[in-house]
Structure 1
Amino acid sequence: MSFRQGACVVTGSEDACVHFFDVGRSARATVNTLQGHGHAVLAVAFNCDESLLASSDAAGTVIVWRRQHA
């Protein structure tokens, strides 16, 4: 699934998680959730090849997540 092709949306949330949504699904659109922040996630950003995702929260914590292929 590629985020650049518009198949997925990634967002931060007040529940301190990063959520991945498949825009092609009408039901159960959440496909993954990353937990690790202690405060609301305010920003998310991918690098150019989508191998890394950075997220930052309201306390200023930044987490860099590495994409692992199955």
Structure 2
Amino acid sequence: MIWKWNYVTFLLERPFSPEIWIAVGIGILPFLAWLRSYKVAHRADLIYLHRDKENVPFEKELQTYAASQAFYIIIL
């Protein structure tokens, strides 16, 4: 599957292989758009770094996806 978001292209060559996603700050948006568009059917671990752990954007939405899909989130 090829998924394009503005100028970035995400290529999922092995759709059933585990993945590690890493996002920093606003860099979470492409992953969030992907989660909103597709159900994650394989194991995906998201490591999301944000400077203010008390006020993480989209945290509740990400936790909802983590609870309902094959998806795990770590916020640092």
TM tier relative to shorter chain: under 0.3
Query: TM-score, normalized by length of structure 1?
Result: 0.25
Query: TM-score, normalized by length of structure 2?
Result: 0.24
Q: Per chain length, whose mean CA-contact separation is higher, i.e. which structure has more relative contact order (CA < 8 Å, sep 6+)?
A: 2
Between Structure 1 and Structure 2, which shows a larger proportion of strand residues? 1
